[in-house]
Amino acid sequence: MKKIFLILAICFSIGANAQMTEPELIDLPIEADEELVKVSENTEELDETAMKYAATITAEDMKRHLTILASDEYGGRGTGEPGQQKAAEYITEFYQKWSLPTIGEGNGYYHPVPLIQQGWSDNVSIEVKKKKFNFMDDFYAFPRYTSDAHLKNEKIVFLGYGISDPFYDDYEGMKVEGKTLMVLSGEPVNKEGVFYVSKMDVPSEWSTNARKKTQEARNRGVNTLLVVVNDYKENAAYYENWIKGTSIKLQKDVKKRANNMNTIFISPQIANELLKKNNSTIEELEAKISETGKPLSFKVKNKATINIERYADLIEANNLLGFVEGTDLKEEVIVVTAHYDHIGIIGKDINNGADDNGSGTTTVLEMVEAMVQAKKDGHGPRRSILFMHVTAEEKGLLGSQYYTDNDPIFPLENTVACINTDMVGRKDDKHDDYNYLYVIGADKISTELHDINERMNRLYTKLDLDYTYNDDNDPNRFYYRSDHYNFAEKGIPSIFFFNGSHADYHKPTDTVEKINFDAMQTRGRLIFHTLWQLSNQDKRIEADKL
Ligand SMILES: [Zn+2]
């Protein structure tokens, strides 16, 4: 699907079929003579012009957009899934209808983010004497530490517990370079419960540090290490989330793993199948070593065919660029972000992501409309504004990271601020009503950014601005968990608007009927006023806290 998906994406971006109703344009001459929008920097005066355009941000419009974007048809907008492409078409058609210029260097409104999706291919198995063992059922390996390997009729050496310690050394006198070893997990202990390595009744690091045996084998140039796991089913179930599933990374972060040693965790069933010709079993070997306290190693007579393979597919996802050019201060840019991706379809469940982050996506659409209407009326912003619906936030803030680290459309030094909106349609259980909003990060780089937002709220929206999550010691670390953080990390003053988490967070129950559109309207207008002030005041805000 991915490849087909890729090609489809490009052709649709120009003529999508999203259910977008004609925006009701107030019939004004296009590009009325640009008069410089004047805003004062420290008055408590209401700005009628700003209020006029803030008023175009309505609960009704928001409901229309969000009902579509959070509908099952959009499949929870997962990165690399068709639903997200559909959302991208909806959003870019909106940009197009509001005649935003395309600035994506030949990609229209798209800012392609090269992502790689990695997962286990179907060709993962272990075979002993024609008996085939399947992944997870009888063996597992950790994706991060695995390279593709195809070992046919591989000879195996049993090497006890794979321990090398002054008191107990399975490697002593053994040539293991380039070989495939099978070792027991844990360490030898006598029937009184005394461990041969520590000489006490407490286990050593060889039991407690899962990586110690792997490191030892790797340092000795072993090719593949098979570790027999006694409570196999429990362990496989425990690690399942780390092992299965796919991971999505920025292409640049996918390092071709040097052909490194693989560690494969196998069930006693596989081990005993291998030991059949040696007329032995794992249980017997453990008992023997426990009795003698002596290392035990030998050639395993049965061979194994081992296939380990992961696929790495390029998936193209896109940040979406909605640019509104400024006037006299147009070289300076304010970036307004909201991620339009969510976690998509998991199993049979569609995670609609109405609040996360359909609400922020919609709020930015409304701000685009308001700002373009102002520009059409001749009250366009003095500084340029890049409205950016970013992708792959749920995969690790990848879309915004790619923008700031690899391919900023505008020089970061000209980027005055980042305004990020992520989850603004609900309330958390810490508040009795919706008349609040968490503000995170505003004062961390620029005092003025914080003050401006406070003043705008005092003048226009009178919300209870909650700074609980702005605390440097906030255990939730929300400051680091949304797209503004990639800009803040670059020293760009950034403000994050958030309504807090709730019971439906990242669940299929995060649906549109639970959204409070009146609250979203008020919150959206606050964010718009802060944007208006930042883009029109004479002096650029200072990063005085850096
Ligand atoms: Zn989110």
Q: How far is the CA of 165 from the centre of ligand 1 (A)?
A: 49
Q: How far is the CA of 7 from the centre of ligand 1 (A)?
A: 27
Q: Which of 384, 410, 361, 409 is nearest to 110 (CA)?
A: 409
Pairwise CA distance, residues 386 & 422, whole Å: 17
Q: Give the torsion through C-alpha atoms of 505, 511, 514, 518, to 10 deg.
A: 100
Q: How far is the CA of 8 from the centre of ligand 1 (A)?
A: 26
Q: How far is the CA of 113 from the centre of ligand 1 (A)?
A: 18
Q: How far is the CA of 502 from the centre of ligand 1 (A)?
A: 12
Task: Categorize the per-residue pLDDT at 45 as very low, low, confident or very high, splitting at 50, 70 and 90.
Answer: confident
- What is the pLDDT at residue 43? 63
State whether 349 and 426 are in the same domain: yes
Q: What is the CATH number of the domain that holds 328?
A: 3.40.630.10
Q: How far is the CA of 418 from the centre of ligand 1 (A)?
A: 16
Q: How far is the CA of 391 from the centre of ligand 1 (A)?
A: 11
Give the DSSP letter string of 198-214: TSSSS--HHHH-TTHHH
Q: Which of 458, 424, 455 is nearest to 533 (CA)?
A: 455
Residues 6+ apart with CB under 8 A from 146: 257, 262, 308, 310
State whether 369 and 250 are in the same domain: no
Task: Look at residue 297 and tell me if it is in a domain.
Answer: yes
State whether 88 and 127 are in the same domain: no
Q: Which amino acid is at 26?
A: I
State whether 300 and 238 are in the same domain: yes
Q: How far is the CA of 98 from the centre of ligand 1 (A)?
A: 26
State whether 23 and 70 are in the same domain: no
Summarised one tens digit per residue, pLDDT across range 278-299 is 999 999 999 999 999 999 999 9
What residue numbers bound the domain in which 150 lies?
118-312
What mean pLDDT comes out for the span 210-231?
A: 93
Task: Look at residue 533 and tell me if it is in a domain.
Answer: no
Helix (H) / strand (E) element for 455: namely helix 447-456
Question: Given 285, 312, 339, which residue is the final one in a domain?
Answer: 312
State whether 141 and 175 are in the same domain: yes
State whether 304 and 327 are in the same domain: no
- Burial code of 300-316, b = ≥16 C-beta within 10 A, e = fewer? bebbbbbbbebeebebb
Q: Which amino acid is at 3?
A: K
State whether 200 and 142 are in the same domain: yes
Q: How far is the CA of 137 from the centre of ligand 1 (A)?
A: 35
- Classify residue 16 by its DSSP letter: -
State whether 398 and 441 are in the same domain: yes
Summarised one tens digit per residue, pLDDT across range 374-398 is 999 999 999 999 999 999 999 999 9
Q: How far is the CA of 273 from the centre of ligand 1 (A)?
A: 48
Task: Categorize the per-residue pLDDT at 30 as very low, low, confident or very high, splitting at 50, 70 and 90.
Answer: very low
Summarised one tens digit per residue, pLDDT across range 53-95 is 999 999 999 999 999 999 999 999 999 999 999 999 999 999 9
Summarised one tens digit per residue, pLDDT across range 441-456 is 999 999 999 999 999 9
Task: Look at residue 40 and tell me if it is in a domain.
Answer: no
Task: Look at residue 541 and tell me if it is in a domain.
Answer: no
- What is the pLDDT at residue 41? 58
Check whether 32 has a pLDDT greater than 50.
Answer: no
Q: How far is the CA of 499 from the centre of ligand 1 (A)?
A: 11
Q: How far is the CA of 356 from the centre of ligand 1 (A)?
A: 5
Average pLDDT across the chain, whole number = 91
- What is the pLDDT at residue 255? 63
Q: How far is the CA of 424 from the centre of ligand 1 (A)?
A: 10
Q: How far is the CA of 332 from the centre of ligand 1 (A)?
A: 27
Task: Look at residue 155 and tell me if it is in a domain.
Answer: yes
Q: How far is the CA of 428 from the centre of ligand 1 (A)?
A: 15
Task: Look at residue 104 and tell me if it is in a domain.
Answer: yes
Q: How far is the CA of 66 from the centre of ligand 1 (A)?
A: 15
Task: Look at residue 511 and tell me if it is in a domain.
Answer: no
Q: How far is the CA of 152 from the centre of ligand 1 (A)?
A: 46
Task: Categorize the per-residue pLDDT at 247 as very low, low, confident or very high, splitting at 50, 70 and 90.
Answer: confident
> pTM of the prediction?
0.79
Summarised one tens digit per residue, pLDDT across range 102-115 is 987 788 999 999 99
State whether 222 and 353 are in the same domain: no
Domain count, the chain: 3
Q: How far is the CA of 92 from the centre of ligand 1 (A)?
A: 20
State whether 20 and 67 are in the same domain: no
Residues forming beta bridges with residue 494, ordered by sequence position: 418
Question: Given 269, 293, 312, which residue is the final one in a domain?
Answer: 312
Q: How far is the CA of 423 from the centre of ligand 1 (A)?
A: 6
State whether 100 and 233 are in the same domain: no
Q: How far is the CA of 240 from the centre of ligand 1 (A)?
A: 25
Q: How far is the CA of 446 from the centre of ligand 1 (A)?
A: 24
Question: Given 257, 280, 312, which residue is the final one in a domain?
Answer: 312
Task: Look at residue 472 and tell me if it is in a domain.
Answer: no
Task: Categorize the per-residue pLDDT at 493 as very low, low, confident or very high, splitting at 50, 70 and 90.
Answer: very high
